[in-house]
Chain A
């Protein structure tokens, strides 16, 4: 069996006295699309942020592509990774945020080129070419020199996806990518994500879009109160939930 892209073993996380994650176990295979659903406050966004070490886990083990997140193991001892190493690993994981978080003082193309140029130190020309190609891929070839403020929410989110892809990540994390969008604009973002999944990108998607989860997801977990209540193939879980909590949640959102 291939190394899982993401492997979580009883991952535990607390903010002060509040336990946000209480033993998460899951595994995401390469090229798999995992959707995480659940009510707000269930810890699903926190878990996503732990995967690229934006949050530090307090217990358990979490690894990406066979390597621990934020730590290095030598024998029985675990060493904290220095900042530089953490950054290097983050560069291999793309992340898309609910509120886009594009850099407002840079044009769409500059947003995309920033990290490949400054973090990876790639050549200007190659990066620019790739940036333009990515913008074309997300259907924004004509918005190259436009500042984020002049773009609609859907367009901004597509630029944000292109920005993450420019680093040529091996894993993409989506944190409720369509929750801040007008209903009319959700489709264009989901289309881009669907295309990514078809191209074989490994994706972990926190979402409320059950239609997307059913159609694109290879697996689905339902989280509540910091634990995974139910998991399985999206079709099974969504149409035949086993657990009472899952049933009551789905009856409200479907």
Chain B
């Protein structure tokens, strides 16, 4: 048996200082450079070809980029996306909870809804709502067995905008309900049991315990759906809604600068999806609280690290000598 002082004086491993970090000459990777150059050259060629296309008038793109009609179309696109997503999320949560219900009728109705709305094209659905006045000229809303009712012309109630909102929103709900259901299933059953053991009712367990945890699984695909919806909302042009795509098409019908106006619309769609991507990141961080020990870096933090600290070694704290334990066997 030896004493602790032996360990300190052991010359093969001096415990009182940290060994220097390894300084080795890194392996070279010439093929990585080759691949990078090839890809860049190809990309540059494609961009150059389009940017210098003889028929393309960049001045027209510039002229219409901030055209008031276009800007108004952007507002309608945003409005349409927001309302359709709200309908999609709210109805989606309801459908998901219905689908997981113990009542077989309730869960099959939800199944049928999803089957139907996911199985038909959204373009057809918008078209359907837009033309519903042709089969139901009047809408009645009344209380059964009374003479209290309200009646209106379908074409006045279901405006083009409402037709688009119904088509996009009801379709989205079918997709959202599957996303929400996946989120709910992902929460450990022990959570439900613990909450029930505390005397919480089913509704309370869902609202306070399960759904907040399901959010972590639900948020990323929902962000995806929102971005997708922003672009899918262009289908509302079939219902003559004055959103971005419809407006740019109206203008190019008039001046025949089809590609230029398509570029204008694309620039705006790209700008809007970029902002959404950014927002999604912060939403995910919020719902990750408590779930992981370290929050993921924000896009800005990532960019900063990529630009300025890419080759930095990971940070190390000040050296503290390890405690010396008595060695019992030597």
Q: Which of A's residues lie within 8 Å of B, judged by CB?
A: 52, 54, 83-84, 87-95, 97, 99, 101-107, 114-115, 118-119, 147-150, 160, 163-164, 167
Would you mind naming 13 contact pairs between A and B with Cβ atoms under 8 Å apart? A54-B193, A54-B197, A83-B202, A90-B197, A91-B199, A92-B199, A103-B195, A104-B213, A104-B290, A107-B290, A114-B208, A119-B204, A147-B289
Which residues of chain B from 230 to 274 have any CB-CB distance to chain A below 8 Å in the complex? none
Given A104-B213, A148-B290, A149-B292, 9 other A-B residues pairs in contact with their CB atoms under 8 A: A90-B196, A95-B197, A97-B197, A102-B194, A105-B289, A106-B290, A147-B289, A149-B293, A163-B198
Asked if A114 and B198 sit within 8 Å, CB to CB, the answer is yes
Q: Which chain A residue shows the least CB distance to B290?
A: A147
Q: Which of B's residues lie within 8 Å of A, judged by CB?
A: 188, 190-191, 193-202, 204, 208-209, 212-213, 289-293
Asked if A105 and B213 sit within 8 Å, CB to CB, the answer is yes
Known: A99-B190, A118-B204. A164 touches B198 (CB 8 A): yes
The 8 residue pairs across chains A and B that have the minimum distance between CB atoms: A91-B199, A101-B194, A147-B290, A115-B198, A95-B197, A101-B190, A90-B199, A119-B199
A-side contacts of B194, CB under 8 Å: 95, 97, 101-103, 160
Give Cα A147 to B291, complex, Å: 8
B-side contacts of A83, CB under 8 Å: 201-202
Main DSSP-derived SS at the B contact region: helix
Asked if A101 and B193 sit within 8 Å, CB to CB, the answer is yes
Give Cα A93 to B191, complex, Å: 17
Give Cα A136 to B330, complex, Å: 45
Closest CB-CB distance, A141 to chain B, in whole Å? 20
Give Cα A180 to B199, complex, Å: 24
Asked if A97 and B199 sit within 8 Å, CB to CB, the answer is no
Q: Which chain B residue shows the least CB distance to A103?
A: B209
B-side contacts of A93, CB under 8 Å: 197
Known: A99-B190, A118-B204. A52 touches B290 (CB 8 A): no
Known: A118-B208, A147-B290, A149-B291. A101 touches B198 (CB 8 A): no
Q: Which chain A residue shows the least CB distance to B201?
A: A87
Q: Which chain A residue shows the least CB distance to B199?
A: A91
Asked if B197 and A52 sit within 8 Å, CB to CB, the answer is yes
Best-surrounded residue of A88, A94, A101, A147 (most CB of chain B within 10 A)? A101
Closest CB-CB distance, A89 to chain B, in whole Å? 8
